[in-house]
A and B are shown apart, each in its own frame.
Chain A
Amino acid sequence: MIRSAVKISLPIMFGFVPLGIAFGLLFQDLGYPWYFASLMGIIVYAGAAQFMAIGFLSAGLGVVEIAMSTFFLNSRHMFYGLSFLESFGNWNIRKLYLIFGMTDETYALLTTIQVPDGFIKERYYLYITLFAQFYWVLGCTIGAILADVLTFNTDGMEFAATALFVVLLIEQWIIVRRLLPFIVGFISSIIALVFFINHMLLTAIMISIASIVFMRLIKGSQS
């Protein structure tokens, strides 16, 4: 099961390690000891928020503002949990960790893969989530330690995250085979881009969920 989880989580590695390195490099500019970059990867574990934190820290922003900004930046994750209410099982330490590890990439992967026969879903998810975070912490650490000596040109590596989401989008199509959610997602993205470009992700997700709920209710009242 572990081998299978490593194999299926490798696409996340290609996204997380370079992104983590980029974070570590930027974090090192602040002048803190390198292991704080690892610590952030371990206990905060949020890509976009950690990049935002670099700006906060250099500006010396207040704690309340930081708490609020982090909350709003990550609030799209509230909607991710909806897909896992059933499959995470009972409340225990494993479930608490699975919830903690719900990043964009983990969410995208877990909602797309099929759990192989004979595997316990919760345990399989747990391994994948653990490996994903390991890749992220590894990247943050490498970046922070090698800030001065790294010579490998990583320009363009950020495309790995785009490629991961494109691959998972194709896989979603193979699973779902209904055009509607894709169209709703696309139109919501465009609306959010036009009107709320600074909060595009969150608004797009809220618009799309509100739209399908609305469509479902109309359909329900007709039949």
Chain B
Amino acid sequence: MNELDYLIIVIIVMALSTYFTRLIPFVLLSPGRESSILNYVAKSTPPMVMMILVVYMLKDINYQSYELIYTLIALTITIGFQVYKRNALLSIVAGTAAYMFFVQI
């Protein structure tokens, strides 16, 4: 097997494996079935997942360096813009620009 064959097989295998994880709930659970518990889970999952994703993104901060300080500043800017302007793009650009500024100086 030459190198390109290997790469192509890996790509196909990863594509199928990834798609499979996303497809499972739709295959196993048919829609329209009345289930109050499933409904409740479906409603509660987005806020829980969002919370988890935020913690996940912040988990690798080094708490003994300036990283903690400038991450907090960038977060404050992002949150501040979002709360007062409700413009997602503006909040993200402002927070990221601040973060990049601190990382690169």
Contacts and interface: CB of A to CB of B under 8 A. Distances in A.
Pick from A82, A95, A112, A216 the residue with the most CB of B within 10 Å. A82
A117 interface: no
A14 B92 contact: yes
Nearest to B55: A189
A189 B103 CA distance: 27
Interface string A69-87: 0110011011111111110
B93 A44 contact: no
Contact of B25 (A78, A155, A160): A78
Interface secondary structure of A, over-half rule: helix
B13 A66 contact: yes
Interface of B is mostly: helix
A146 interface: no
B47 A176 contact: yes
B22 A170 contact: no
Contacts, number: 251
A13 B79 CA distance: 19
Contact of B26 (A81, A170, A192): A81
Interface string B1-18: 001101101111111111
Contacts of A138: none
Nearest to B10: A66
Given A75-B21, A185-B47, A212-B48, 8 more contacts: A10-B89, A44-B18, A63-B13, A70-B13, A78-B24, A80-B25, A104-B53, A181-B45
Interface of B: 3-4, 6-7, 9-26, 29, 31-32, 37-38, 40-59, 71, 74-75, 78-79, 82-83, 88-89, 91-93, 95-96, 99-104
